A and B are shown apart, each in its own frame.
Chain A
Amino acid sequence: MKYLHLIWAALFRSKTRTLLTLLSVVTAFLLFGLLDSVRAAFNAGSNVAGYDRLVVASRLSITQMLPIRLEPQIERVPGVNKAVRAAWFGGIYRDQRNFFPNMSVGPDFFEIYPEYRIDPAQLQAFKSTRNGAVVGKALADKYGWKLGDTIPLQATIFPTGGSNDWQFKLVGIFTVADDKRQGEESALYFRWDYFNEANDFVKDRAGWWMVQLSDPDRADAVAQAIDKLSENSDHETKTQTEQAFNQAFVKQFADVGLIVSAIMGAVFFTLLLLTGNTMAQAVRERIPELAVLKTIGFSNRSVLLLVLAEAVLLLLLGGLLGLALAAVVMPMVGAASGGMIQLPSVPGATWALGVALALAIGLLVGALPALRAMRLSIVDALAER
């Protein structure tokens, strides 16, 4: 620690060069922070949430609806606490571009989603209003909806009375406490019984069930027992944990992990070259100074460590700045997109990985110049041979 001042002085010996290198490192880690957070958001789905919930959907495809008579059978399976039906609605608010998920759900939906916070009085209103709807706070803020407003949705799948116009009355607004799951606030839920009565096409069918388990450890056994109920019928089911269900869906869009690693590979390879070059230059310029250090008694090892520390410090400084910048930029992007893209802040794992990468790259690029500095012969160096 007592050498920090020395290392710092050496680092900023050539201000322009160090500053420019530092800025390259910052951009590289900014990109890393952004991309890795997006990857984490895609892959995690909801990591913690839903550990005690299963999703029962049709084995044939997610668009195939299931008969509602399965519900009591599912609830009788040992280990199942409660099953709540849901059906995708796919309505459009004003314009196709204003996409947000909207679906009908059974009455106990908020009971098995305790992380969705809603005022008890509003929940009561939801239960007593036939065409009542509940939306997340982010969505309500986006369109300026207030309790009591009528929300018109254009049906894309299910007409009502020959027309595509559905009207819902906003009776509740829920919030999600967890920052990472803010995206889930952009959804609208309404009552399944209203959907069932009012739509012209399907009667007594649900898209899927969300099943709450009494014991999360027995998820596999319960899932198998549920799938057994409908085996060999025309409505076979597939039961997965909520997490697996979300992941399978997201994964079909694109292999985000692969794209991110490919880009980051290109970026870090370039960075390695760039900082390596800077360090080599820095040591080459300072050979007489290093020789002086050795002359006044610095051991070979401490010279090696000094140069290594310099490289690591440069990378760490740039890496931390870049990651911090990413943490600032992410919420701004989310805000600018108007809630369309919900980006979590930079997660802890990304910070850790970023710092580890900065350390590794620093050691790697510092190694050759540091070895060179260590092997310096004092006489040759002072004579500038």
Chain B
Amino acid sequence: MKRIKKWLVNLGVVLALLAGLTAWTMLPWYGVLGLVALLVLWLLLTRSGRLALAAARIGVASLPQRWGASSVIVIGIAGVVGVLVAMLAMGEGFQKTLQLTGSDDTAIVLRGGSQAETNSVISREQVPLISSLAGIAKGADGQPLVSPELSQVVNMVTRSDGTDANAQLRGVGDAGWSIRPKVKVVEGRRFETGKRELVVGQGAQAQYVGLDVGSTVELANQDWTVVGKFASGDSHDSELWADAQTLATTYQRTAYQSVTVKLDGKDGFKAFKAAMAADPRLKLDVLTTADYYSKQSEGLTKLIKILGTVIGTIMAIGAVFGALNTMYAAVAGRAREIGTLRALGFRGLPVVVAVMLETMLLALLGGLLGGFVAWLVFNNYSVSTLSGNFSQVVFQFRVSPELLWSGLKWALGIGLVGGLFPSLRAARLPVTEALRAA
């Protein structure tokens, strides 16, 4: 009978724990703050709270004696949080880089059905038709801000290991610069129309060999001079820019691939899209660049997030076992202490809370350590991957405060699971047996 009762209680605890963990992961920061405030109030104001605090103080004071065992919890949780934060920071960095590239006041025109610039074709006759549509902003000279563009994937040698990688060579129209105000030339000058000149992004320059300003690059058997370097802080940084006309003649292109336009005010996109749909000669897709670039990042970002969470979960399970082990050992090692407390009249709850507090403190330390190491090593760590256009995009890991926060929540969640069962055992220790323990 007693056995069954104990078993049922344990089952109840496990179910409550699962529910608690689910609620915990969804809890927003102010919820956590409220919870902490409640806990502190309870600890300070009620009798059993003060008792719990006193018991916890004894446990924490003896931590240095058990630093070897306690460090298992700290390091274990730090590992989980570090790996989790680093993986998610990678996804976030990629997403952010592509999202920054787009904006709501520019639109990209692609051939109907094509998903990326590489697949798209826009014939030369269509460009004046597009330029005359409503909803496009006019430049200072009264001309519509329209940039017909070509994108060519070129093989470049990487600095890191000397292998070939796909770089994006973008041919832009005259309006290309004014449509993207974020792209600023930081060294040298812009290319001149009609000349074989390149302006390279800072990311591309860092990634590939031979793109210093003033050097010559051979592309399609022609010599191109690098005349400038630009910085934009988004995925254009990984590109090489040239005059669209010159690029077209070099690569024998008879058509453009995309047209990027500056939209006229808030309603520009609606007007532009409607005008496009009304013209039967133009069977083209229109997207704001914000939409276009976030679509490009969707798949990979999702994949990284799922991977990061799965790996994090497996590691977390391992860390829970480690924490359980350590805390069971701690409880067993202090059986006499705990027995004494119980004999003095400490009830179950303060003992449970005391052991939990100790575990949570260690978990918090681990979470902070892991988050800090991930931030130290990986924040702004630069990597590159292949994007939707068959070309490399350089991006930086972003260890954001939100990620660090969720890392801490994971750490405390692991601490909760790892501390609960040992604390229950501590509360259930038969006083007489515990006092007799060696």
Q: Enumerate chain A interface residues (CB-CB to B < 8 A).
A: 16-17, 20-21, 23-24, 27-28, 30-31, 34-35, 59-64, 90, 92, 96, 154-157, 159, 164, 201, 232, 234, 236, 238, 248, 251-255, 262-263, 266-267, 269-271, 273-274, 277-278, 280-281
Contact = CB atoms under 8 A, between A and B. Distances in A.
B311 A277 contact: no
A98 to B, nearest CB: 12
B69 A63 contact: no
A31 B166 contact: no
B380 interface: no
B325 A60 contact: no
A17 B75 contact: no
B113 A164 contact: yes
A270 B79 contact: yes
B121 A17 contact: no
Interface residues of B, number: 50
A59 B251 CA distance: 13
Contact of A280 (B68, B115, B325, B326): B68
B17 interface: no
Given A62-B390, A155-B113, A24 B328 contact: no
Contacts of A20: 321-322, 324-325, 328
Given A27-B315, A28-B318, A30-B314, A17 B325 contact: yes
Contact of B83 (A17, A154, A266, A274): A266
20 contacts: A20-B324, A20-B325, A21-B325, A24-B322, A27-B315, A30-B314, A60-B220, A61-B152, A62-B390, A63-B118, A156-B115, A157-B118, A234-B221, A238-B155, A251-B163, A252-B166, A252-B392, A267-B318, A270-B322, A273-B76
Contacts of A62: 153, 166, 390
A23 B384 CA distance: 36
B76 A274 contact: yes
Contacts of B115: 92, 96, 156
B22 interface: no
B13 interface: no
Nearest to A255: B383
A17 B322 CA distance: 9
A61 B154 contact: yes
B180 to A, nearest CB: 23
A251 B318 CA distance: 30
Nearest to A24: B321
A96 B311 CA distance: 27
A372 to B, nearest CB: 14
A59 B155 contact: yes
B82 interface: yes
Contacts of A281: 69, 329
A63 B114 CA distance: 15
Contacts of B129: none
B132 interface: no
B192 interface: no
B131 interface: no
A6 B383 CA distance: 52
Q: Which 6 residue pairs of A and B lie closest in terms of their CB atoms, listed nearest first?
A: A27-B318, A61-B153, A20-B325, A24-B321, A156-B119, A164-B113
Contacts of B113: 154-156, 159, 164
Contacts of B220: 60, 234
B263 interface: no
Interface string B107-151: 000001111101101000000000000000000000000000000
B289 to A, nearest CB: 19
A251 B386 CA distance: 9
B321 A266 contact: no
Contacts of A155: 113
B325 A63 contact: no
B121 A201 contact: yes
Contacts of A35: 311
Most buried by B among A24, A30, A64, A238: A24
Contact of A266 (B79, B165, B314): B79
